A and B are shown apart, each in its own frame.
Chain A
């Protein structure tokens, strides 16, 4: 009985404490706090440098990978809770602009960026996002599984029987880089030929629908895949870590994958957002974007006079995606990929 009474009293006390703890927990972001949703590795490093320089606090939210982030934004719908969103991929930014989740980046901010040639080509006509860096989807090769003289040189080489059943890829439904890659293939080859090409090389569903770069990397490191369509920055990070991988930029060219910042249509912190975007493309911001070892620290700069992280190539034959055209077909293409290559 003593136990029961104690239990009961304790339950009441515990509930009261729980309720108060929730109420007293730090309040949600106020109108003064800049809230950034992101799926890029270097966001925390850049924000730290930004706050150190300006004294402006920033709330960073990383719900998961690009897929989880976009799902969260979609669920928030016409009541977005972020001021800025920082992700890879251009077509999705275009769609969010069309849905009035985002507003165009002000001309003044884009005009103030001293973009290099690649950077200039990445700026969308709609100003749906501010390009901050670039990477691409190239061919990653496991050098333990593929001898140096058998390395693929082009996308077409992956149809070679030696690679049949061993080509890995990510699911564009969940991966921004993967959608950019698929859309790029369709833009270059044409939709029908592009589909035929992917069907000829992605013959093993077990390794053609990974949700994240982590899973794809594991498949190639454990030998399930010999080659894969992977973001080059991810492979550079693995190579720097001592993994037996190599990067091949196919002769046909590769589609440029911008990382960019989008501005919420409902932001109440437009001034702070502008300050942050200006900082990202400043010398300090760009240095912070390379101050680490993870995948995104190996992205290539899009600002004049900024060197890439040691070891990463920048002289790449880029193809530039038409984000508006890709956005228009996005849902169809993603569904087609899911139906064909995702278990």
Chain B
């Protein structure tokens, strides 16, 4: 019996008569159906429809022909796509790169999470901010920074640190794996760190009491329990690398290492757009990720392990003695490579008149920094605009993701993996494809293009696009968080007569509040630097910050671009920190009230409900 049925059954026991009971049941069912339609309708409009309109052009390339639009199927475009040798190279390269980085970034993120969550490493607070700071620095900026550092006449070469041979190696597959790993390790760090926190050390303690050695405990108990989190990280990082455009268009392109996303970008940035080619390649990307998600589901046929229960306690940290300093050094080395060096390069460029003159006194200038902090600078208006857009999009995406994830928790066995698969697939689709889909939906389809809201060319559609682009990420975070909750928590409350809404409000949401704030903040940060939507859906009333930044770099105005990027990162860091501190404060204020209530509800665990 589903929880909805159980609710209805509970209602039926106190109803006055059969007819009333039937009426209430029908009304409840209808309302439930309506809510489902609205929530899944929003998902369809934000993601499925725009994505579908681009993908379908792989088969119907003349669907939006400006002179003679026609819905005739033309398989020739698919044959042409697969016939091109460069495409097969791009597919192979993308798969190899994504596969390698999925392993390296997950390993690094897991290692970093272990060090911070389970050891007595010094400077823990400082080190725990590093993944967030890495996360808020956009990939295209880090790519630009590493290019400044590692190019033949770049900063490292100027001070004799990097010989030409090493520079050549860097601008190749090895450099790409290196940069992607440093760029993406925060994602597995967040997911595995959260799983480690939920896991606690009770199972471990029990096993140790039974005589198991530490290594065996980790191999036989902890790692299998953490396996779903690892699998999610591997799939998510794989999808992230496949969809990456920041490194694909800079380091990878300079390395002669063709990737699918760049190939899609080339097909879609021309007049006329090769929609057939772009659609085919996007379809290939989507199939790659969906196949991986399905394979993961098939390989792990057992039910997901629920780690957060009413009895979860914080895990003990291992006391490591002098070895903790070695771990601290390792963590600081990661911080140096992933954050400090790229930031130093951006700062150096923001303070240099030209790149080739290097870091000499005559070449130092404050001209760009002064311009970046001048409130009258039109570029700063774009920054303010982006702050508002990102705030609205983050709130909308996190809210929709929570509602959708809650519905999916109660949904069919098919629905959850299907939505998860589409979401992860959408993560792998480059933003440029989704952006095109939005233009097609809201500027080409009769009726939709005539609606007053959202409207193409208006800020409302850009915010909607940001929300659509962020929704899959938020959904994955929220589904992962909800998937960690042991069912006994809500079962106990249900048996005490608490309805679905009350259970959700008083038990589920407080327990996933951390993930909700994570989803909100990560969307806010990503949106501040989201590029393809910002470019394609640029409002006529003024651009968002990312398109201004990239235009500055594209026009070789790196000094101004670097200064403005620094300004943007500082603003984002301050706003994010303020939200985070506020959320922690509110959580701390309410924990005293919430925690006993949750444990009272859970302690009333009925017979037959197991953890």
Contact = CB atoms under 8 A, between A and B. Distances in A.
Nearest to A242: B354
Nearest to A36: B540
A74 interface: yes
B510 A4 contact: yes
7 contacts: A1-B505, A15-B395, A15-B396, A22-B463, A71-B270, A211-B269, A224-B254
Which 4 pairs across A and B sit closest by C-beta, in order of nearness? A3-B590, A67-B269, A222-B151, A70-B271
A187 interface: no
Given A7-B516, A68-B536, A77-B444, A96 B271 contact: yes
B547 A64 contact: yes
B607 interface: no
A8 interface: yes
Given A81-B456, A222-B154, A242-B353, A101 B557 contact: no
Contacts of A79: 443-444, 449
A99 B66 contact: yes
A339 B86 contact: yes
A41 B555 contact: yes
Contacts of B458: 25-28
Contacts of A75: 64, 273, 436, 439-440, 443-444, 536
Contacts of A71: 268-271, 273, 432, 436, 536
B594 A1 contact: yes
Contacts of B258: 342-343
Contacts of A100: 66-67
Interface string A134-176: 0000000000100000000000000000000000000101100
B147, B154, B356, B440 interface centre (most CB from chain A within 10 Å): B356
Nearest to B151: A222
A338 B266 contact: yes
A33 interface: yes
Contacts of B266: 171, 173-174, 338, 342
A146 to B, nearest CB: 14
Contacts of B554: 64-65, 211-215
Nearest to A211: B249
Given A1-B597, A76-B439, A294-B555, A18 B271 contact: no
A295 interface: yes
B392 A59 contact: no
A211 B540 CA distance: 25
B153 interface: yes
Contacts of B555: 41, 212-214, 294-295
Contacts of A23: 453, 460
Contact of A62 (B449, B505, B538): B538
A3 B269 contact: no
Contacts, number: 256
A32 interface: no
A41 to B, nearest CB: 7
A79 to B, nearest CB: 5
A6 interface: yes
B505 A28 contact: no
B273 A4 contact: no
Contact of B536 (A14, A33, A63): A63
Contacts of A196: none
Interface string B228-271: 00000000000000000000011011111110001001101111
Interface in A293-343: 294-295, 331, 334, 338-339, 342-343
Interface residues of A, number: 85
Given A70-B270, A78-B66, A217 B255 contact: no
A62 B551 contact: yes
A221 B356 contact: yes
B271 A92 contact: yes
Contacts of B354: 221, 241-243
A244 interface: yes
A61 B510 contact: no
Given A68-B536, A79-B444, A339 B153 contact: no
Nearest to B446: A79
B457 A28 contact: yes
A4 B453 contact: no
A29 interface: yes
B510 A3 contact: yes
B459 interface: yes
Interface string B350-385: 000111110000000000000000000010000000
B84 A339 contact: yes
A238 interface: yes
A268 interface: no
Given A1-B597, A62-B551, A63-B538, A72 B439 contact: yes
Nearest to A35: B540
Contacts of B443: 75-77, 79, 81
Contacts of A121: none
B530 interface: no
Interface string B449-484: 100011111111001100000000000000000000
B272 A95 contact: yes
A219 B167 CA distance: 13
Contact of A5 (B64, B453, B505, B550): B505
Contacts of A29: 457, 540
A31 interface: no
A21 interface: yes
A339 B353 CA distance: 37
A251 interface: no
Contacts of B551: 62, 64-65
B152 interface: yes
Contact of B253 (A8, A67, A209): A209
Interface string B62-84: 00111101000000000000001
Contacts of A70: 269-271, 273
A109 interface: no
B589 interface: yes
A193 interface: no
B154 A6 contact: no
B171 interface: yes
Contacts of B396: 15, 18
Nearest to B555: A214
A7 B444 CA distance: 39
Interface in A42-83: 44, 59, 61-65, 67-68, 70-79, 81
Contacts of A33: 540
A305 B22 CA distance: 88
A18 B454 CA distance: 13
Contacts of A103: none
A212 to B, nearest CB: 4
B360 to A, nearest CB: 12
Contacts of A206: 171, 254-256
Of A210, A222, A243, most buried by chain B (CB within 10 Å of CB) is A222
A11 interface: yes
Given A71-B271, A75-B443, A223 B457 contact: no
B594 A343 contact: no
B513 A3 contact: yes
Contacts of A127: none
A218 interface: yes
Q: Which of B86, B449, B463, B540 has the most CB of A within 10 A?
A: B540
Contacts of A28: 455-458, 539-540
Contacts of B67: 78, 99-100
Nearest to A241: B354
B294 interface: no
